[in-house]
Amino acid sequence: MENSSIRVAQLLRYGLDTGILHEDDEIFARNLLLDALGLDSYEAPESQVEVPPLPEILEALMDDAAARGVLEPDSVVFRDLFDARLMNCLLPRPSEVRRRFAEFISVDVKKSTDWFYKFSQDSNYIRRDRVVRDRKWKTPSDYGEIDITINLSKPEKDPRAIAAALHVKHSDYPACQLCKEAEGYAGRVNYPGRLSHRLIPVTLNGEPWFFQYSPYTYYNEHAIVLSAEHRPMVVSHAGMQRLLDFVRQFPHYFVGSNADLPIVGGSILTHDHFQGGNYQFAMDQAPAEWSFSLQRFPNVEGAAIKWPMSVLRLRSNDPVELAAAGSHILEQWRSYSDPELDILAFSRATPHNTITPIARRDGEVYVLDLVLRNNRTTDERPLGIFHPRPAYHHIKKENIGLIEVMGLAVLPARLKDELESVAECLLDGSDPLDNPAAAAHAEWILELRARYTRFDPETIRTLLEAETGKVFVGVLEDAGVFKRDEAGQAGLRRFAEHCDQ
């Protein structure tokens, strides 16, 4: 009991020190914690407790709860549900969070997002201890410095959680993980706990939306902006208006939408949402290669930029005209075909063309990047013609979504161990087919051996990071509908001219 009381006192002190818990609410929060932990009494420490790192406090409380049968079964998934319940005991209700956000934004919009981002971390909704596990580096390329990350922050489900999920009664509540109804939801084995989750309401183009941060922070202040209504993703004129309205209100952030078709879209197409944040990607800095005009939109400047994917950049001081110009290009692209370049808008009645739109501010100028996408497949390329080629699947096989489009690779966790095995094969000359973790990279290893005369243990990690980055640049070039060669760029010019007819 004494040890449990000390840990409870430490968690309360953590809440007070970070500001997520008000001193008037300390006793109330303590009693909530005792109830969650299955304790009916509390022994106050004789002196002020020292506060260790939050994960250490939570792990100790959960170890004790598991030993007493309160946390059952004791696995990663159920621990995540349980520690979210503990943290919620410290947190203010959504109305108080929104009131404080409004106070900050009335003074300085950046202070409001600074505060909310720190709150989302201090509440453990963003798990700092997991985010720091992600392996990150930058790779120089012809298109600027490309960001690479191996995502290690999402926990793997253990066998007990998988088995338990088979016996969970089907539920459509919340309808998806992006629904506003997720705020404060306790979670279940097949739905993450959201008790420590808080949303900030925003109005975009006259419509109710919400703003939050991603629990898996791939870049600084990785935000998610979601519709109050559960409805499918749609790239449209209204969507571009909402993007531009968001950067009007939050000028230090970018915001973008995944494409609205399978293969070229994001992982969640069932709920209309955007992603944004306070980060500058390589694509933001890509220079214009040639310009074009749209006579119907005289206050909009157009340019094609130097980027592995096909991007038309529009700039204007007038967000209304800019959204209309972006919508015009979208409408033209939806029905545009260039058979010589394998670009077909339809297969019978199935549409293939869409756009990944991204908005940001450059001082007083609004910028709208339109990334042209096509999701057509063939028997030879069942995952997509404009998708990473099979030779790249050992590094990246998944869809190329908004974040990757802008130049940040989100690579699977398996690569952490696999790249170490690749390094071993290169250093000792062993056959990668004899190493299960390196076998998928066998052809790549042969290519590297052909290009390099020797491998140094001191530099092998840096070399593999650079080579992984080169593969990802190739992935982006594969996703480009108009290739970077002469024929492809001529095709992009034809499309830009088509938009001005």
pTM given for the model: 0.94
What is the C-alpha separation between 96 and 241, in angstroms, rounded? 30
Cβ-contact 473, 143 below 8 angstroms? yes
> How far apart (Å, rounded) are the C-alpha atoms in residues 89 and 470?
47
| Identity of the amino acid at 470 | K
416-437 tens-digit pLDDT: 999 999 999 999 999 999 999 9
pLDDT value of position 3: 85
3-state secondary structure of 263: coil
Angle formed at CA 375 by CA 465 and CA 344, multiple of 5 degrees: 130
Q: What is the pLDDT of residues 176-196, one digit of tens each?
A: 999 999 999 999 988 999 999
Half-sphere exposure (CA, 13 Å, Cβ side) for 380? 3
Q: Is the pLDDT of residue 165 over 60?
A: no
For the chain, give percent helix, strand, coil, nearest 5.
Answer: 40, 15, 40
Higher pLDDT, 267 or 308: 308
Model pLDDT, residue 4: 92
Q: What is the mean pLDDT of the chain?
A: 95
- Residue 367 has φ and ψ, to the nearest 5°, of -120, 135
Q: Distance (Å, rounded) from C-alpha 153 to C-alpha 121?
A: 14
Contact 495, 336 (CB under 8 A): yes
Buried b (16+ CB within 10 A) or exposed e, 240-253: bbbbbbbbeebeeb
Q: Quote the pLDDT of residue 164.
A: 59
- Give strand pairing partners of 353: 374
Spatial distance between the Cα atoms of 14 and 315, rounded to a whole number of angstroms: 46
Instruction: Label residue 446 by pLDDT band (50, 70, 90).
Output: very high
Q: Which two tokens stand for residue 219?
A: 């870049």
pLDDT in tens, 343-390: 999 999 999 999 999 999 999 999 999 999 999 999 999 999 999 999
Answer whether residue 101 shows pLDDT above 60. yes
Selection from 152, 215, 205, 203 nearest residue 178 by Cα: 215
What pLDDT band is residue 464 in, cutting at 50, 70 and 90?
A: very high
Instruction: Determine the residue type at 71.
Output: L
Residue 122: pLDDT band with limits 50, 70, 90: very high
| Beta pairing, strands 311-316 & 135-139 | unpaired
For the chain, the straight-line distance linking the first and the last C-alpha, in angstroms and rounded, comes to: 78
407 contacts 282 by C-beta, under 8 angstroms: yes
- 171 falls in which pLDDT band (50, 70, 90)? confident
Residue 470 structure tokens: 């080169």
pLDDT at 160: 57
